[in-house]
Structure 1
Amino acid sequence: MKRTHTIGLGAVAATAAIALATSTAPAIAAVPTDTSELRAAVSADAIMDHLAQLQAIADANGGTRASGTPGYDASIEYVAGLLEAAGYEVTIQDFLFNSFRELSDPEFDQVSPNPTVYEPNVDFITADYSGSGDVTAPLQAVDLVLPPGPEAGSSTSGCEVEDFADFVDGNIALVQRGTCDFSVKADNAFDAGAVGVIIFNEGQEGRTETLAATLGAEFNDPIPVVGTSFAIGEELAGLAEAGEVVVHLQTETLIELDVPTSNLIAETPTGRDDRVVMAGAHLDSVAEGPGIEDNGTGSATLLEIALQMADLGIEPRNTVRFAWWGAEEAGLVGSQYYVDSLTKRQAKDISLYLNFDMIGSPNFGRFIYDGNGDAFGTSGPNGSASIEGVFEDYFDSQGLASEPTAFDGRSDYDAFISAGIPAGGLFTGAEDVKTEDQVALYGGLATYEGEPVSFDPCYHQACDSMNPIRDGADAGLYEALNDAYGGELEYGGVITNVNTLALEQMADAAAHAILTYAMSTSAVNGTGKASPVAGQHVGERLGSHFRR
């Protein structure tokens, strides 16, 4: 079918092709549906073929598919072309966002007492939306919790203005990850006279690695801000307690305002318009690489599900609307723009939203969003528990273990749950460290050569690619991961950053849930807002980097 005219910047979507539920809309309940034919048709091999195409697009466009770049535009064209040929009603929704990139390699050195040069993207990472600067100054620790508290979020370091009551103007602030947004810590430090900020990870299990922070597109303080590991932060804090520590920070960054990009929406030509089942994944990568796992896997899986539904001639009872979001890595901008652009009338049509962001992690786990909140205390809107149950029941039926993951605002479901839309989805892990217990459930590695191993060792790096060893990953680690999974990381004889076993299992679960809800004839009434924790930062989420 012909592509629908592009929706202009700032325009409110005027067609049923873009619609969203309010807190009063019913969520479709899950009823038994035979999804075996669709699951058999959706294969990891075909999804990997799509990922190879996304890699080729990145290779032809400076190694990235970030929103606002030619690589992203080419990704949109690739997905849209296949969907149009399959008969979907395709709409491109244009919007503007503020982009961020580094113009040169950052620097972080301990000048004294122990001269040390820290390695970029290994020992430290420039915070997204950091300002530029080249400063050398004494380090001053701010309200640290050392040793760290037993639970994540025990530290309020830098969260209150009072934390900086004794801060010396012209120093560099050392703050600890904890309960508040990174931007709050950095802004408070700047207001207190800091000329730079170092944010180190908090220290609990899963919060020790080098911190990839984002400050959000609204941050505009002209100082360098970097994230580092708990070990480096703890060492610097100990040295500062014993005497003066002088450090050097240098960043050169560029924030471009009002950069054009787009979302892609594809809708089945048949199905009830008042019970729309929506499934989404962000199509953009980070600027540092091609984003094959994050989030090529979610994007390619949705594409293959849509294509196979069309090829099988499935006519859903309820309209199915697929979405590929732009500028997720800039702060969930595309999905939030979509939600914000809708009228009340349009907002009555979507019954639920399913999110797929990173579903082929090389050292994977099987995680389901905690819709009922019983694991993390943050529930989705009414109906989200039903979605969680569909995924749990499916994995149980396949003899596969799964675990809940929190609705913590790290992906595109956030705009939906904040608006009271029932939501759920799948995730296979990012920078958190895999435990021995999880290895027993899912295979893989908890450690390699004595060091902990995360679910995705190439998360937000150039090596998130179809050839991570070529692109800078630890060759020994990736060979060990591939061996641990019996060759499941290979495509065309090359080790990739995607685990095809995970991809097959999660794609089948995604196809099962989408078709189950697409064919359902019943509904769950009385949907409402998410719990206060889930919705308290509407419009302020900061993408798949840790928000805090």
Structure 2
Amino acid sequence: MKCSIAVGALAATASAAPGLVERADKKIRQYGYPITKPTVNATLLKADITRDNLVAGAQQLEDFAYASEERNRFIGSPGHNDTVYWLKDTLESLDGYYNVSLQEFFTVAQINGTINVFTVDGAAPPEGSYLLFDYSASGNATAPLVPVSNVGCNASDYPATVSGSIALISRGTCEFGLKSALAGAAGAVGALIYNNVAGPPLQGTLGAPPRPEGDYVASISISQALGAGYLSAITGGANVSATIDVLTDIRNISTYNVLATTNSGDQENKLALGAHTDSVAAGPGINDDGSGTVGILEVAKALSKYKVNNAVTFGFWAAEEEGLLGSTYYVENLAASEAAKIRAYLNFDMIASPNFVNAIYDGDGSAFNLSGPAGSAEIEAFFEDYFTGVGQNFTATAFDGRSDYGPFLDAGIPSGGLFTGAEENKTAEEALLFGGTAGVALDQCYHQACDNVTNLDLGAFETHAKAIADAVATYSFSWEGFPARNTTATKRSVVRSKRTIERRHGRNKRVQPLEK
């Protein structure tokens, strides 16, 4: 109604002031929406983010996953494809506010994998003490176990006797894929990689093949207790043999990033933010990272009601679980001139963990001695101020490039974001500051079938989604006080796990309590 009234009023005065209509038309063409939209405001944008809408979005993602036999949103699956097109359709429905596109890329994906048989000296190890590595090769063999020296990160660690045998390798130092490939190059017919800490085996990935060191062998992750027991028996003179029968289905597939950039605002000074759209094969991935996906989508929907001064790009990344592939593809295919237009990137990967902490990426390096490009410290400080303002404590999480902000750091783009926790246990200090249960994982359903809507802490979900809105409103309004981009600076070399090592997020032991 306001739009039609405003246009009518302009038409009525056209004869008296023809330049006024031309200027108004120019603004509408320039900004892509009627000039009656209010300028973005953090208070209003945060108010637009509701718990009901967040839950509805999460439920939609769960429905996509559960509509197929796979019951997940793994890349290339029906659940993931439905997610991608739902995001595209939703963003395109916002009256032309965004320039929306699908960015296709190709990758190798493990569709499924099964351990048909795993026995040692004819006996099956206890249930839950072993897991299949993602991207393991298929294999069926019965052979002696041969320990590998050190942690198996060098070809020289593999003795000649490993040829025709199953390598027994400790976790540590280098990525699992390197260990499996080196075992294969040494002639091993399989690999058992045992954890170096007590507890269950690590759920890990070898990373998508190929590797320059050679082909993978059938590779199983086992607990520290199993590995130490086998090693002790062998060094004591016993002959230990194992039978492994592993079958994996690994395919070349195509998938898509969903990109949406405001048609309005200064395109030379963009804010970019993102979350990943895929889950692991084990479950629907509603916290990891359906929560981030829905969080930034709700902000994108709300933002379309407002005029922005600076353009905003929302990136919905595919294949994060396979090694940050979507975000890496996006950044590596940006022309240098386009990358220079991104003033900052914000990442939101898991923002509704049931036993949550309020973790902020350590942009200034004060907690983990690994800082980001100029501007990253200011992003961290922004989110610290946000949590203080809403009466909540916060802590730092390692800024090591192990989620989709990693490629942006590699490109020298200031970055930051929020994280509520994965498989790591909550400390007693964190339980005092954030509530929840000490000694229990921040997300007990991390990378499991139970990561569905019931796995979300809705209070944390709403708090973090409103933090996203606060940041988007602030930076789309003004970059005042934010450092200018230094596009000639040396790019930061980050710790690049791409989850081929493991997905573990360090958290600062010096959490920030509220002043009482």
TM bracket, shorter-chain basis: 0.7 to 0.9
Match of 1:45 in 2: 52
Aligned residue type for 2:391: G
Q: Does 1:532 align with 2:489?
A: no
Instruction: Please tell me the residue identity of whatever aligns with 1:426.
Output: L
Tell me if the contact between 2:343 and 2:485 (Cα under 8 Å) persists in the aligned partners.
no
Whether the aligned pair in 2 keeps the contact of 1:108 and 1:118 (CA below 8 Å) is: no
Deviates most, 209-218 or 299-308: 209-218
1:334 corresponds in structure 2 to 326
- Are residues 376 and 347 of structure 1, via their aligned partners in 2, closer, same or farther at CA, if it must alter by over 3 Å? same
Q: After alignment, is 427-436 or 438-447 more displaced?
A: 438-447
Structure 1 position 93, deviation (Å)? 0.9
Asked whether the 8 Å contact 1:327–1:333 carries over to 2, the reply is yes
Deviation (angstroms), 1:226: 1.9
**Are residue 510 (structure 1) and residue 468 (structure 2) matched?**
yes
Secondary structure of 2:289's aligned partner: helix
* Structure 2 SS opposite 1:117: coil
Higher relative contact order (CA 8 A, sep 6+): 1
Q: Which residue pairs with 1:181 in the alignment?
A: 175
For the 8 Å contact 1:66–1:286, the answer to whether it is kept is yes
8 A contact 1:280–1:356 mirrored in 2: yes
CA contact (8 A) 2:138 2:217 kept: yes
CA distance 1:510–1:208, change in 2 (3 Å):
farther
Aligned with residue 244 of structure 1, among 239, 244, 262: 239
Paired residues, number? 456
What is the 5 A alignment of 1:307-456?
A: 307-310=301-304, 313-447=305-439, 453-456=440-443
Partner secondary structure for residue 346 of structure 1: helix
Q: What corresponds to 2:88 in structure 1? A: 80
Contact 1:131–1:251 (Cα < 8 Å) also in 2? yes
Match in the other structure for 1:498: 456
Distance in 1 between residues matched to 2:356 and 2:312, nearest whole Å? 28
1:546 to 497, 503, 506: 503
Contact 2:181 2:216 in 1 (8 A): no
Residue 271 of structure 2 aligns to a residue whose secondary structure is strand
More displaced, 164-173 or 84-93? Answer: 164-173
Is the Cα–Cα contact under 8 Å of residues 49 and 302 in structure 2 kept in the other structure?
yes
For 1:137, the equivalent position in structure 2 comes to 143
Tell me, yes or no, if structure 1 residue 123 matches structure 2 residue 82: no
Give the root-mean-square deviation of aligned CA atoms.
2.2
CA offset digits 1:318-338 (Å, max 9, x no partner): 101111111111221111111
- Native 8 Å contact 1:107 1:118 kept in 2: no
Contact persistence 2:194–2:223 (CA under 8 A): yes
Q: Report the AA paired with residue 515 of structure 1.
A: A
Inter-CA distance 60–506: structure 2 relative to 1 (3 Å threshold): same
Give the aligned partner of residue 463 of structure 1: 450
Structure 2 match to 1:479: none
Does 1:67 pair with 2:84?
no
* Alignment partner of 1:210 out of 195, 201, 213: 201
Match of 1:253 among 233, 248, 251: 248
The 8 Å contact of residues 170 and 195 in structure 1, kept in 2 or not, is answered as: yes
Which of 146, 161, 170 does residue 164 from structure 2 map onto?
170
The 10-residue stretch of structure 1 (455-464 or 102-111) with the greater mean CA deviation from structure 2: 102-111
| Gaps in structure 2 of 5+ consecutive residues | 1-39, 506-516
Match of 2:100 in 1: 90
**Secondary structure, counterpart of 2:455 in structure 1:** coil
Counterpart AA for 2:445: C
> 1:521/1:367 Cα in 2 relative to 1: closer, same or farther (>3 Å)?
closer
Deviation sequence 1:473-493 (CA, Å, 0-9, x none) = xxxxxxxxxxxxxxxxxxxxx
Please state how far the C-alpha of 1:396 moved relative to its aligned partner.
Answer: 2.0
Structure 1 residue 167: deviation in Å?
4.5
Residue 199 (structure 1) aligns with: 193
Rounded to whole Å, the distance in 2 between the matches of 1:543 and 1:90 is: 31
Give the distance between the partners of 1:231 and 1:368, measured in 2 at CA: 34
After TM superposition, give the deviation of residue 408 of structure 1 in Å. 2.6
1:101 aligns with 2:111: yes
Q: CA deviation at 1:162?
A: 2.1
Contact in 1 for aligned 2:422/2:443 (Cα 8 Å) = yes
Q: CA deviation at 1:261?
A: 0.8
After superposing the two structures, state which structure 1 stretch, 259-268 or 39-48, moved more: 39-48
CA contact (8 A) 1:358 1:427 kept: yes
Shift of 1:101: 2.5
Give the TM-score normalised by structure 2: 0.83
What is the TM-score of this pair, normalised by structure 1?
0.78
CA pair 530-383 structure 1, distance change in 2 beyond 3 A: farther
Q: Are the structure 2 counterparts of residues 543 and 435 from structure 1 closer, same or farther at C-alpha, using a change threshold of 3 Å?
A: same
Q: Which amino acid aligns with 2:466?
A: D
Identity of aligned residues (%): 40
Whichever of the two has the greater Rg, that structure is 2
Task: Report the Cα offset of residue 526 of structure 1.
Answer: 5.2
Q: How many angstroms does 1:422 deviate by?
A: 0.8
Compared CA separation, residues 239 and 398, structure 1 to 2 (3 A):
farther
Instruction: Determine the C-alpha separation between the residues in 2 that align with 1:379 and 1:521.
Output: 21
Q: Deviations over 1:115-139 (max 9, x none)?
A: 33343xx322211111001222222
Question: Kindly tell me: are residues 544 and 225 of structure 1, through their superposed partners in 2, closer, same or farther at Cα, counting changes over 3 Å?
Answer: closer
Counterpart residue type for residue 174 of structure 1: L
Deviation string for 1:397-444 (max 9, x for gaps)?
223222211123321111110111111111111111222222222222
8 A Cα contact 2:199 2:224, kept in partner: yes
**Counterpart code for 2:291:** T
Unaligned runs of 5+ in 1: 1-32, 145-156, 448-452, 467-495
Partner Cα distance (2:381, 2:464) in 1: 15
In the other structure, the counterpart of 1:24 is none
Q: Aligned in 2, Cα 1:428/1:521: closer, same or farther, shift over 3 Å?
A: closer
Structure 1 residue 498, shift from structure 2 partner: 0.9
Aligned equivalents of 1:254, 1:143: Cα separation in 2: 31
Aligned partner of residue 264 in structure 2, secondary structure: coil
- SS of corresponding position for 1:524: coil
